[in-house]
Structure 1
Amino acid sequence: MNPGRDAVIVVPTYDEAANIDEVLDRLAAAVPDVDVLVVDDNSPDGTAALVRARPDHGLRCHVLDRPGRQGLGAAYRAGFGWALDRGYSAVVQMDADLSHPPERVPALLEALERSDVAIGSRYVVGGGVENWPWHRRFISWAGNAYVRWVLGVEVHDNTAGFKAFRRAGLIEIGAVDSDSDGYCFQVENTWRAARLGLRIIEVPITFRDRTAGTSKMSGAIVLEAVRRVLLWRWNETFTGATRRKALV
């Protein structure tokens, strides 16, 4: 898939002034002439102002201002809605902390030639994680094992936050109408895509822990994912809901 102005990369930010320029510089080198939407939750460190002050070197940057922190899921829903309203044929999502390698965006877009959803995966051959302490590795491994066991989704990296969607796929899974926040948002969209029979490809990436800024991960985010995954499975198994209704 030729990105050009048909694809947009959605990057949610909160206090990412230490990283945002490098993210955008590397995107400009990796995917010339692509559009980027920075969805900023009123960062006190001036992240949005830095983006607006950048010269246009082929990378066309847009900023969507939000009034404050409302969760990762809410930021992505706002960004996805913005992208769909403007007719983009492909939407990429990625973090602003340099954990997701911008150089792998072309591989995700190329994978959309053969899929509806492309996932930048840490847990397929060729993928990996760098600079994570053992407890973060364990939490990530256990979380993915939990999702596969409870929901039966045959994706190796269900919690991945580096993804690309065809426009039709993004609409079909109802990502703009989902209700998860935190990192559970990633699980929900992968689960919906799998349940609806969409074509999913995992593209290997090396995930590197942030070296600047502060992680937004918390115990509450983990707890939300545990609860919601169980609720989704309960609704599918015991309420007699159809596949479509189970996704609402």
Structure 2
Amino acid sequence: MTNSEGSPATGIGVQPVVASDGAGALVVIPTYNERDNLPLIVGRLQGALPGIHVLVVDDSSPDGTGEVADELAGADDLARIHTMHRVEKDGLGKAYLAGFAWGLDRDYRVVIEMDADGSHAPEQLSGLLDAINAGADLAIGSRYVPGGKLVNWPRRREILSRGANTYARLALGAGIHDITAGYRAYRREVLEKIDLGSVESAGYCFQIDLAWRTVQAGFTVREVPITFTEREIGVSKMSGGVMSEAFLNVARWGLASRLAQVGIRRG
């Protein structure tokens, strides 16, 4: 089941999964050369949701981002900031998978994806958690549902992003308007079920892959409108190769799904 109309009202009788200050949730932030952005985003997170925990997953950034992450963790007397150092730059998907495994091992009830560059506003994270507390299994911060916005994004990138999402929605029939979005919150039960060990996707394709697995497993996905703001510091790490991977994989997944549906009808 998917719902693209924004965050739902809290359901009667639904027990909150995480506290209003974010306690019980972990934000995974992959980093590569984000030393200037990282303190800003972590500070905003702690200001918005004082109880939330953060895991910085650094891919051996040559600019010293890992050292900055360690300094932030060392200065946090409440032990809410954690770091993971990986030995090589191995892609966004692998960094998130490592962070997910770390969070699941430590019994966090919700695991969140967030970029380090400030494009995902920490002040809007409560909307995603509200959707989780109201019954969503995956809450996606969406640029392309009513109320969603793009700020300072180059027109070319917006066209590519909207086109990629339209293509994925039509090819998969998933009903998600922003399936490439990287601002999202998962209940731990989703990550435990969707076979993370078999995920090989990266970048855009990683986000599509996990959302599609979530839908295929029968979980509830809801899109929450957000304002996405283009980074002010540093440069985007999206590549043409990642876009090509997404295009080909979506076609393959969509075809496999349709063939399976035909087989079920014939059976």
Cα distance in 2 between the residues matched to 1:227 and 1:149: 14
Cα distance in 1 between the residues matched to 2:99 and 2:233: 24
Contact in 1 for aligned 2:29/2:55 (Cα 8 Å): yes
Contact in 2 for aligned 1:123/1:156 (Cα 8 Å): yes
Counterpart for residue 33 of structure 1: 51
- What pairs up with 1:56-205 in 2 under 5 angstroms? 56=76, 58=78, 60-113=80-133, 114-205=135-226
Return closer, same or farther for 1:98/1:48 CA change in 2, 3 Å cut-off: same
Counterpart for residue 13 of structure 1: 31
Aligned-pair CA distance for 1:162:
0.3
Q: Give the TM-score, by structure 2 length.
A: 0.86
Query: Does structure 1 residue 209 correspond to structure 2 residue 230?
Result: yes
Aligned-pair CA distance for 1:4:
4.7
Cα distance in 1 between the residues matched to 2:230 and 2:100: 25
Q: Choose the corresponding residue for 1:47, options 58, 65, 68.
A: 65
Look at both structures and tell me which one has the larger radius of gyration over its CA atoms: 2
Contact in 1 for aligned 2:53/2:81 (Cα 8 Å): yes
Aligned-pair CA distance for 1:215:
0.7
Secondary structure class of the residue paired with 1:112: helix
CA RMSD of aligned residues (A): 1.8
Contact in 2 for aligned 1:28/1:57 (Cα 8 Å): no
Cα distance in 2 between the residues matched to 1:77 and 1:43: 18
Please, which runs of 5 or more residues in structure 1 have no aligned partner? 244-248
Please, which runs of 5 or more residues in structure 2 have no aligned partner? 1-17
Counterpart for residue 246 of structure 1: none
Return closer, same or farther for 1:219/1:4 CA change in 2, 3 Å cut-off: closer
Cα distance in 2 between the residues matched to 1:56 and 1:159: 33
Supply the AA of the counterpart residue of 1:86: R
Cα distance in 2 between the residues matched to 1:208 and 1:240: 39
Aligned-pair CA distance for 1:124:
0.9
Secondary structure class of the residue paired with 2:95: helix
Contact in 2 for aligned 1:33/1:59 (Cα 8 Å): no
Supply the AA of the counterpart residue of 1:133: P
Cα distance in 1 between the residues matched to 2:234 and 2:198: 30
Aligned-pair CA distance for 1:31:
0.8
Deviations 1:94-126 (A, max 9, x none): 110101101111111111012100000001111
Contact in 1 for aligned 2:172/2:257 (Cα 8 Å): no
Return closer, same or farther for 1:206/1:242 CA change in 2, 3 Å cut-off: farther
Deviations 1:220-245 (A, max 9, x none): 010010011111123223478999xx
Aligned-pair CA distance for 1:175:
3.4
Supply the AA of the counterpart residue of 2:208: V
Cα distance in 1 between the residues matched to 2:171 and 2:97: 25
**Count of matched residue positions in the alignment of Structure 1 and Structure 2:** 243
Return closer, same or farther for 1:149/1:21 CA change in 2, 3 Å cut-off: same
Secondary structure class of the residue paired with 1:36: strand
Q: Give the TM-score, by structure 1 length.
A: 0.93
Supply the AA of the counterpart residue of 2:202: D
Identical pairs, percent: 44
Deviations 1:177-206 (A, max 9, x none): 311112210001111111222111111100
Query: Does structure 1 residue 234 correspond to structure 2 residue 255?
Result: yes
